[in-house]
Amino acid sequence: MRLVKEIPHSHYLIQIHEYNGKYLLKVTLDNFEQTFKFPVSDVNDLDQFTLKLSNEFWASCLKRFLTMRDDYSHFINFDNV
């Protein structure tokens, strides 16, 4: 897997990797990570692709991160029965 691009953001670590014929868009916040896979053949221009990453997309990512944190908290605090 090779790092193709890193996108600056105030809250997230955002990286695009290329692996096995796919671009992997990795969005990281603290200990949680979301990965989106896109076939390289579907992306004509990587710069144009990154311009499509809108505020709505980032807000949706944040909602998923909050859900992930809640799931993690529930799991870690689950009493062994």
**How many domains are there within the chain?**
1
User: Does residue 39 surpass a pLDDT of 70?
Assistant: yes
Q: Decide: 16 and 5 in contact? Cβ < 8 Å.
A: yes
Q: Is residue 10 one of the residues assigned to a domain? A: yes
Contacts of 23 (CB under 8 A, 6+ apart): 4, 16, 17, 37, 38, 39, 40, 43, 46, 49
Q: Is residue 19 one of the residues assigned to a domain? A: yes
Domain extent at residue 15? 2-76
pLDDT mean across residues, the chain: 93
User: Does residue 4 surpass a pLDDT of 60?
Assistant: yes
Q: Which of 56, 66, 52, 37 is nearest to 7 (CA)?
A: 52
Residue 79 is predicted with a pLDDT of 58
Q: Is residue 49 one of the residues assigned to a domain? A: yes
Q: Is residue 28 one of the residues assigned to a domain? A: yes
Q: Is residue 38 one of the residues assigned to a domain? A: yes
Segment 6-21 shows an average pLDDT of 95
